[in-house]
Amino acid sequence: MKPTACLLLCLLACLALPQVSIADNSSLPSFDGVMLQPTPKPLQDFELTDQDGRSFRFSSLRGAPALMLFGFAHCPDVCPTSLQKLALLKQSNPELKGVRVVMISVDAERDTAAALKEYLNHFSGDFIGLTGDPQHIREIATQFSAAFFKGEANATSGTYVVGHSGQVFAVDKAGNVRAEFYDASLDAMAGVTRALLAE
């Protein structure tokens, strides 16, 4: 076969290959309090225990967007505020019914599955709580570029708080972090989440 004919066949074969669509953030709207990722940040699959004591894989969320945060049931301010806002977001936007809200505990010592279930039920029975080995959770947090640390325990009561990143991560249908919400308005959160749902 002549070189030119071989080259032509190769070009035709390439044109016949299915085209793969790769999401980017150019289609996501911009709002105050929302940091869009320059490019989608892929997350490796991981496994933790959910609020019902069952094994839960991150990959099971694929197929629909998810709003994820790191927190703990004894959190005095950031977590309840964020969870209340996420509950209101879903209540006021019925089209976001299929979007999952997931809180990964940064306080595995106290956040048993039962404790997470009781805590999250104050906000929504649909929210997912995940707990597990602290080191494993630290590795997961690194994927999100989140951080947390355990504060010094009170000498009398033994209670402590956990300092942690407070943003909410918007994850797309393929399991990529696409945006981070920093005390964003409900309209901003809804706008970005709708865009991810439409992809």
Whether residue 15 is contained in a domain is answered as: no
The contacts of residue 11 (CB under 8 Å, 6+ apart) are none
Compute the distance between CA of residue 163 and CA of residue 155 in angstroms, rounded to an integer: 18
Question: Do the domain assignments include residue 165?
Answer: yes
Within a domain: residue 4? Answer: no
Asked if 66 and 171 touch (Cβ cutoff 8 Å), the reply is yes
Q: Residue 117: inside a domain, yes or no?
A: yes
Tell me which residue range forms the domain holding 107.
29-198
pLDDT on residue 24: 62
Task: Return the bridge partners of 150, or none.
Answer: 162
Distance of CA 169 to the CA centre of its chain: 5
Cα 177 to chain centroid distance, Å, stands at: 7
CATH number at residue 73: 3.40.30.10
In a domain, 135, yes or no: yes
Buried b (16+ CB within 10 A) or exposed e, 72-104: bbebeebbeebbebbbebbeebeebeebbbbbb
User: What pTM did the predictor assign?
Assistant: 0.85
Does 109 reside within a domain? yes
In a structure prediction context, what are the per-residue pLDDT tens digits for the chain, which is 199 residues long? 444 444 333 433 333 333 333 456 678 999 999 999 999 999 999 999 999 999 999 999 999 999 999 999 999 999 999 999 999 999 999 999 999 999 999 999 999 999 999 999 999 999 999 999 999 999 999 999 998 888 888 888 778 889 889 999 999 999 999 999 999 999 999 999 999 999 9
In a domain, 162, yes or no: yes
CA distances from 20 to 10, 14, 23 (A): 19, 12, 10
For residue 2, being part of any structural domain is answered with: no
Residue-wise DSSP of the chain: --HHHHHHHHHHHHHHSPPPP---GGGSPP-TTEEEEEEEEE----EEEETTS-EEEGGGGTTS-EEEEEE-TT-SSHHHHHHHHHHHHHHH-GGGTT-EEEEEES-TTT--HHHHHHHHTTT-TT-EEEE--HHHHHHHHHHHT--EEEPPPPTTT----EEE---EEEE-TTSEEEEEESS--HHHHHHHHHHHHH-
**Contact call for residues 21 and 177 (beta carbons, < 8 A):** no
> How confident is the model at residue 71, as a pLDDT?
96
Task: Calculate the dihedral angle through the C-alpha atoms of 155, 156, 159, 164, rounding to the nearest 10 degrees.
Answer: -40
Q: How many domains does the chain have?
A: 1
